[in-house]
Chains A and B, each alone.
Chain A
Amino acid sequence: MKAPGPLPAPWRKSGAFLWTIGLATVLWALTFVHATLTTRAAADDLHRRGALVSQLDLTDFALFTEARYTRHPSQADLHSPFQDHPLALEHFPTGSLVPASAGPSWTGWLEAPAASSPE
């Protein structure tokens, strides 16, 4: 009597698994193709946004509009979260997620007045 041979490939568990993983890998690779094509197609939109930024001298994204000191994170002053009184706690959700400022700049603007003081 002939010994039973291996099952045909598609019926084996490894076959189904390899097909699934292969398909998912193709989809994964396609995400990179999609990313390249989409960003290339969006070049005009990006250019339009850049042109508006240049035309209106804009400095920030309009993502955080809930409080005035979070609307322009690159321009905000350090004391804004304590605007009501020095011990006022931050109460806007965005305020706790957006750092009030990137900190003193290269000139160390907090120190700048001292460095150039007349004394």
Chain B
Amino acid sequence: MRALLRRQRYLLDYSLSSLARRPGKHLALLLVYSLVVFLLASTLLFTQSLRREAALILADAPELIVQRLVAGRHDLMPADYLDRLGQLRGVSDAYGRLWGYFYDPAVKANYTLLVPRQEPPVPGEVRLGAGVARTRGLGVGDYLSLRSARGEPFSFRIAGLLEAETELVSSDLLLLNAEDFRRFFAFPADRFTDLVLRVRNPSEVRKVAEKIALALPDTRPILRDEILRTYDALFGWRQGLIIVLLGGALLAFVIFAFDRAAGLSAEERREIGILKAIGWETGDVLRMKFWEGAALSLTAFLAGYLLAYAHVFFFAAALFAPVLKGWAVLYPDFRPLPFVDGLQVATLFFFTVFPYTVATIVPIWRAAITDPDQVMR
């Protein structure tokens, strides 16, 4: 066993010396290889983190939301729908939600104005999400002036700020009283934005949604499961999109690496010929080349993965922020939580380390089994 290990170590020594003989070429390969792993790993880690967090946090979202559609577009919900839906068998509670969007031309940002069901602010006061407070430079006790739907100026006193830890879901929120909301938007008194239904038995949620679709054909029930699926699909889509965008670069790398690994230069052929002529066995040549490929790909994988981990979880995925942010003024200040999926990392390892290592061995095997004299010529 000891002899075997010592033998492998000598082979590794030789492989490293062989790599060091062409430092520029191999360093360039290592750099590009690490960069490819870094980009792939960053994408996987970031989307996995958001996907997992969405699944955890949005598990507390309403079980069933009912929205009204008119000509295929979202419309306000008549209050009498609430009575009809509340009487459906299996529904334990039904209430209307009041929320809407407000574009603030002062900072060119969209706010989400929402009326909380529990502990709403007193009339004339609002509670702000951390993003709004930061963008407008407001604190508790300050006043926020906005122009209402009728063009009247409204001045709200800031009664409190939502916790910074909740920014991922509350960054652009502006919580206000129902009266203020209706006056501000000139919102009809007999309308809600949409309705929330609580269903006693979770296994009946789908049945209730079916009943709603039949009883009120102009409505669209949205299940909590669908919300969770939307986020799963959304981050999957984003991940897929980034990987597709990276596709060109990946393909270029594969061609580059394959050419580097599979195409033997005359110098390398001569080297193999000499090794065989001085008594190296085919197996030794293959092992030596295996170590060469393994050293390169393992180093690239570890460097790329560690850099990606630091990028996503210590530097809040700074390279991806512009993609997510778009032209948004209000962007939550958040740091993704490291929900690492072991299977994803194993897949990344397999698809980055193995193909290169195997690709290096095949042409060497071809050269190593031919006559040394013929190889050297």
Contact = CB atoms under 8 A, between A and B. Distances in A.
B102 to A, nearest CB: 10
A99 B239 CA distance: 13
A39 B57 contact: no
A30 B222 CA distance: 41
B20 interface: yes
A107 B109 CA distance: 35
Contact of B172 (A32, A71, A77, A92): A71
Nearest to A83: B73
A55 B169 contact: no
Interface stretch (B22-30, B264-272, B294-302, B369-377): B294-302
A90 B332 CA distance: 24
A98 B109 CA distance: 19
Contacts of B238: 97-98
Given A46-B57, A52-B166, A71-B110, A14 B12 contact: yes
A112 B67 CA distance: 14
B281 interface: no
Contacts of A28: 302, 305-306
B338 A39 contact: yes
A59 B65 contact: yes
Given A17-B295, A65-B109, A99-B234, A53 B326 contact: no
Given A34-B338, A50-B60, A67-B110, A13 B327 contact: no
B309 A31 contact: yes
Contacts of B340: 31-32, 35
Nearest to A27: B306
Interface residues of A, number: 67
A113 to B, nearest CB: 4
Given A49-B168, A68-B110, A109-B213, A39 B234 contact: no
Contact of A113 (B206, B217, B222): B217
A116 B59 CA distance: 31
A75 to B, nearest CB: 7
A73 B165 CA distance: 22
A75 B64 CA distance: 12
Interface size class of chain B, counting residues whose CB lies under 8 Å from the partner chain: 35 or more
Contacts of B32: none
A15 to B, nearest CB: 8
Interface in B339-375: 339-340, 342
A106 B206 contact: yes
Interface in A24-69: 24-25, 27-28, 31-32, 34-35, 38-39, 42, 45-46, 48-68
A64 B56 contact: no
A25 B226 contact: no
Contacts of B295: 17, 21
B332 A63 contact: yes
Contact of A102 (B165, B230, B303): B230
Contacts of B13: 12-14
Contact of A79 (B72, B196, B305, B323): B72
Ranked nearest first, the 10 interchain pairs of A and B with the lowest CB-CB distance are A35-B338, A93-B326, A66-B328, A94-B326, A54-B60, A24-B302, A13-B16, A62-B171, A74-B227, A102-B230
Given A56-B116, A63-B168, A112-B217, 4 more contacts: A59-B58, A60-B169, A77-B69, A116-B214
27 contacts: A14-B10, A17-B295, A21-B299, A21-B302, A31-B338, A49-B165, A50-B59, A52-B163, A54-B60, A59-B61, A61-B54, A62-B169, A65-B330, A66-B329, A71-B101, A71-B172, A74-B230, A75-B222, A77-B74, A92-B326, A93-B327, A94-B324, A94-B326, A105-B222, A109-B220, A113-B218, A116-B214
